[in-house]
Structure 1
């Protein structure tokens, strides 16, 4: 997977990133890949290699914690929606709001085109759209599984680009496979309403009908079940606070509503699994280090808070400007 290191051993592979948190930590992107029956042995081998390098291990976004090993400390961190690709035309036909969005964008002259990765990677128009999109986010760009700079290293990703009057107004990036992963849908500021739905429709209709696809993790999703073993009180408080107050940085509710409106077949829970250490506040510091790299998590959060203060001050000034102007008249 582009942007991550890959470990090979015990008949499996592990994609991971190594960062500095409280010491060295290797955060794996999911469980080992390979035959199901061999995954726990592969996870144990990966952890032995990490310990030999004086690093601990975390397994992030694991579908089945048993793939890492039995009785591991874990906590459900969210859920991802999954669709059977062949059911997509039925969804569009039965969901009036989805059809209306696709039609709205098409009526505004938006068309979707498949671009090879080489053309997408070299396109200044796509990079301009990305830069504008990032400027409107509440967080500085993330690393690890939320890295938006896939144009730099597209790997085997494929791209669908939204065009209007010859100009790029958005694009979608996905990783093909038996289960395709729709990784990014990026819209320009002036993209007509419905552009995202039109891009998704164009991408899915071109996938093999006997496969599945996902739009990826929704952190702290309301569709995720509770963890089998309740995490410590401080961890539960952290997760609850994040869900309630982090909207300025990451719109959990909006992301979940967007994905849910396409009527997934199911929501698949994803967990954070440790190498045997209890789940604690320090566990989430390690996760934050992976997403913030190469910045320190504390500096990353401080930057996000500073950006939020500046943005809210600007919003307040714009709201007060008419009243202040009227007072001077």
Structure 2
């Protein structure tokens, strides 16, 4: 799958992006510029100028502060991410009895957590089996761009913690260090005991000194505020329909509930920002192309529908077999 590239601009500002083919070539940035705040708009302008010279359009996805790109750009709130301040995790665990119970439950079931080196992660067939088991239960085919789960072969600066039970890997957590840690992935096998994710998170954060951290974006989060400018009726209808009816493929509500149970300090809105074009359904085709790459969005959706049909047939067959065997 296409990996993110990093563009380095003046005065240490960087921009992560992927280039895809939608209706023409598009460079989709993963978040806004990173680096000294006063220099971010100039770096964004330079990035867009280079893209224009290369005959590419630019789209900014998951931007915390649209003014880091430029003032008065068309923007739309497309989700929110939960954020915890430095040192806040232990206090939350002390207050939240249900989280403590989950952590104890996993530990009592014999789950142990330990950090693994990047070399051990790269060499581990066990972790790839954990990932394969997790992917087989997703409603969508594997995605790319900001949701690429294939990080085991190229860990980069990520740190990993692995959950084992009876000397067998049953889950892992991957985080990206920084001034604010990004807990990027929590992956588990189907048979992982309830509470394994909470135990992974608790161990990783305490081992890291309980830094400020985020669990990443929840698309179309109900914790996100309304956009300053209302989107078009067509875009509003698309987002409403997606949130209401696409849960067979992507469980928006379940993801939000999982992250909310750890009681974040706040939810930070994230935006979609264009270079000046109004945000339309065609803008979301560009977004879909980034996450579906290297497949076209239509092929990606077609594959998802076929997989869903196969799951429904398999579930119906198993239910019929169980009913017949019980007679």
**If the TM-score is normalised by the length of the shorter chain, which range does it land in?**
over 0.9
Report 1:123-162 matches (<5 A): 123-162=124-163
Equivalent residues of 1:85, 1:204 under 8 A apart: no
1:292 aligns with 2:297: no
Q: Which ranges in structure 2 are unaligned for 5 or more consecutive residues?
A: none
Describe the SS at the equivalent of 2:41: helix
Describe the SS at the equivalent of 2:170: strand
* Equivalence for 1:311: 311
Equivalent residues of 1:85, 1:207 under 8 A apart: no
In 2, Cα distance between the equivalents of 1:152 and 1:283?
32
What is the Cα deviation at residue 41 of structure 1? Answer: 1.2
Report 1:87-236 matches (<5 A): 87-209=88-210, 211-236=211-236
What is the Cα deviation at residue 207 of structure 1? Answer: 2.0
* Equivalence for 1:37: 38
Q: Which ranges in structure 1 are unaligned for 5 or more consecutive residues?
A: none
Report 1:10-89 matches (<5 A): 10-11=10-11, 12-89=13-90
Cα deviation 1:252-301 (Å, max 9, x = unaligned): 11110010000000000000000111100010000111101100111001
Describe the SS at the equivalent of 1:85: coil
Instruction: Give the structure-1-normalised TM-score.
Output: 0.96
Describe the SS at the equivalent of 2:288: helix
In 1, Cα distance between the equivalents of 2:48 and 2:229?
23
What is the Cα deviation at residue 87 of structure 1? Answer: 1.5
Cα deviation 1:81-134 (Å, max 9, x = unaligned): 001231211111111110111000000110100111111121110011001110
User: How many residues are treated as equivalent by the alignment?
Assistant: 325
What is the Cα deviation at residue 324 of structure 1? Answer: 5.1
Describe the SS at the equivalent of 1:193: coil
What is the Cα deviation at residue 322 of structure 1? Answer: 4.2
What is the Cα deviation at residue 208 of structure 1? Answer: 3.0
Describe the SS at the equivalent of 1:189: coil
In 2, Cα distance between the equivalents of 1:324 and 1:108?
35
Describe the SS at the equivalent of 1:247: coil
In 2, Cα distance between the equivalents of 1:69 and 1:208?
36
What is the Cα deviation at residue 325 of structure 1? Answer: 5.7
Describe the SS at the equivalent of 1:81: strand
